Chain A
Amino acid sequence: MLTARVRKRRAARAAASDFALDVDIAQEEGRTLVVVGESGAGKTTLLRLLAGLEVPDAGRIALGDDVWFDDGAAGVARPAWARPLSYVGQDYALFPHLTVRDNVGFGLAARGAAARATRERVAAVLDRLAIADLADRRPRELSGGQQQRVALARALAPDPRLVLLDEPLSALDQGTRQEVRGELRELLARSRCTAVYVTHAPVEAVLFGDRIAVLEQGRLTQVGDREELLRRPRSPYVASLLGVNLFHGTIDRGPAGGAGLVHVRTTQGSLVVPDPGLTGEVYVSVNPRDVTLYLSPPVGSAQNIMYGEIAEMVPQPPDGERVRVVMRTKPPLVTEVTRAASETLRLAPGVWVHAGFKATGAAVYR
């Protein structure tokens, strides 16, 4: 188990407010944790703390029984070079004066492996990544995709217990990225080392990770399996990246609209939802396709109605027959209607509409 409970405060630069990273991670060994968050959320800082390139203000980092950092009485703070890990930064940082072979062998040689063992291991890794023919080149003679492969080879050659990957695909073009992503996934799965993979792209996170942690302004707002994240988003950030509507409120067991229904009081008003058998704070998510738009107040089955101005309309997919309509409500309500319906209703930015969804269209969870 990789456990990291770290806190790191960074003094404000100019007008920006103080930034503080405060996270608690427990990751099963041999699996990959994807940390997703916007730039400035603290992703790189988290990796640098794990790597030992920066020292936390407080906390504890351990891989299994191996303690790397502890601010307690023991007072452990191992430098980067004394931790059995590898780090692949955004720009790879391949040593420009060394050949691909010597770059890949660097970690083994640095840890005192015999020359012969190093040679054999390097050959095997180069072979596995299909870059054996590049062995005698220098980094400046490689393409971006090739540099990326060399950086991965260099990181994996010493058989580290932990691999830290900081947006490893961001410098690649779209086609190469897809290719390398697949290879990387397979490689990590086969090497059975623990990996922490950081990205700002939600798509990347969903495609890559079985286990995803969402980092927002220095805090983990949701950690869980991919399915869990897709089905039950717990923060506006996750909801917006998945394109679903999310409300946060408290269950109110007053008289509801019907059997098996309860109210959820949110800051934007009260919602009628199916009774989840819970009390206290809950999340309510609504699929955009379950929201219907009306020009006049609807009569009938929709129990939840919101009134607002249309902010923008996006064809979905770009040439598709559905249209994603974002309303200027708080939080922005997203609906998806057919192109035909949008034309019939003459929907356009600036038009005021009623949006309604049935109680049964809402998913309620804690």
Chain B
Amino acid sequence: MPSRTRPGVWGWRLAVATGVACFLTLVGLPLVALVVRVPPGELIRRAASEPVLQALRLSLVTSVSATAVVALIGLPVAYLLATQEFPGRRVLETLVEMPMVIPPTVAGVGLLLAFGRAGLAGSALRAVGLSIPFTTLAVVIAEAFVALPFFVTAATAGLREVEPRYREAAATLGATPPYAFRRVLLPLALPSLAAGAVMTWARALGEFGATITFAGNLPGRTQTLPLAVYVALQSDVEAAVALSVILLIFSFTLLLTFRSLTAARALGPRAHRSRP
């Protein structure tokens, strides 16, 4: 009996198609609405203006810095979570996920109360002559805070996916843990680490709430592109839309590029998954 005549198949297809159509409407339509609102000429003229370039530059610098910071402090955490069993592990795992679930504005308040002038670490920071709030550094910290879970989650999964037999093979060949990490674990987990870094960067680029709370909204110093959109919205809707479209095109292009690159890699045989 041909499968298409069997009951349930058409209903199933219809359900999938409906879901996809709803998704396209929900996520696609607002994006399309933004893009068609501004004529291309107007967009280019706006994009070339100094305030926009300034915000874009600041967004780029801070989001890339935040990604670097996250990778640096996230990798040890991911390594610990992926390779060790220890008491308090669940607590640490939950802590890693926290920035993902708390509202960014709450994160900003928390950062202010921790690293602000009157914060817990404020006097210690003042003692070394450091004042963080309302600086570009504060933007980086705010972005790193909210984006960290994306990297740590992906990196932990990636490191855990490397089969123990490779770690054991390295150990029996005389590789110390750091050597094995550098030459076996890291290269094998690299695709996951890269994916985590890209998601981290994308999240950092779109960060708004924590930034405006902790770093303020100073053009040229802490006013990133999302903040500039918010400000523009109060006075000039057309400008806000143009800024949004620039941000949108920018991130869409980068995500798509990364996706194509990893897809090309994944098409090759993933030999380390299959056993001989």
> Could you list which residues of chain A lie within 8 angstroms of chain B, going by C-beta atoms?
51-53, 79-81, 84-87, 89, 91-97, 106-107, 109-111, 138-140, 144, 147, 154-155, 158, 164, 171
User: Which among A53, A94, A110 is the interface contact of B175 at CB below 8 angstroms?
Assistant: A110
Q: What are 30 of the A-B contact pairs (CB < 8 Å)?
A: A52-B171, A53-B168, A53-B172, A79-B171, A81-B172, A81-B173, A81-B176, A84-B174, A86-B173, A93-B163, A93-B165, A93-B166, A93-B168, A95-B184, A95-B188, A97-B187, A97-B272, A106-B170, A106-B183, A107-B173, A107-B174, A110-B170, A110-B174, A110-B175, A110-B176, A110-B179, A111-B174, A138-B271, A139-B276, A140-B274
Beyond contacts A52-B171, A81-B171, A81-B176: 15 other A-B pairs, Cβ-Cβ < 8 A, are: A51-B172, A79-B171, A81-B173, A84-B174, A85-B172, A87-B172, A93-B165, A93-B169, A94-B276, A96-B272, A97-B272, A106-B170, A106-B183, A110-B176, A138-B271
Q: Which residues of A contact B271 (CB under 8 A)?
A: 96, 138-140
CB of A91 within 8 A of CB of B275, answer yes
Bound-complex Cα distance A111 to B275 (A): 27
Q: Which residue of B lies closest to A105 (CB)?
A: B173
A81 cross-chain contacts in B, Cβ below 8 A = 170-177, 180
Are B174 and A91 interface neighbours, CB within 8 A? no
Q: Among B174, B175, B177, B269, which residue has its beta carbon within 8 angstroms of that of A140?
A: B269
CA distance A331 to B222 in the complex (A): 87
Complexed CA–CA distance, A85 and B168 (Å): 12
> What residues of A have a CB within 8 angstroms of the CB of B179 in the complex?
110
User: In the complex, what residues of B have CB within 8 A of residue A94's CB?
Assistant: 169, 276
Q: Mark B249-276, 1 if CB is under 8 A from A, else 0.
A: 0000000000000000000010110111
Q: Which of B163, B171, B176, B184 has the most CB of A within 10 A?
A: B171
Q: Flag if B169 contacts A89 (CB, 8 Å).
A: yes
Q: Is the pair A106, B188 in contact by a Cβ cutoff of 8 Å?
A: no
Contact check, B176 vs A80: say whether CB atoms are below 8 A apart. no
Residues from chain A with a CB closer than 8 A to the CB of B169 are 87, 89, 93-95
A89 CA / B168 CA spacing, docked (Å): 10
Query: How distant is the Cα of A139 from the Cα of B271 in the complex, in angstroms?
Result: 8
| Residues in B whose Cβ lies below 8 Å from that of A89 | 165, 168-169
Q: Which residues of B contact A51 (CB under 8 A)?
A: 172
Distance of A53 Cα from B180 Cα, bound (Å): 14
Kindly identify, within residues 146 to 171 of chain B, every residue whose CB is under 8 Å from any CB belonging to chain A. Answer: 163, 165-166, 168-171
> Which one of A79, A139, A147, A154 lies within 8 Å of B173 (CB-CB)?
A154
Chain B residues with CB below 8 A from A109, complex form: 183
Contact (A91, B165) CB under 8 Å given A96-B188, A106-B170, A140-B271: yes
A106 to B187, CA, bound (A): 14
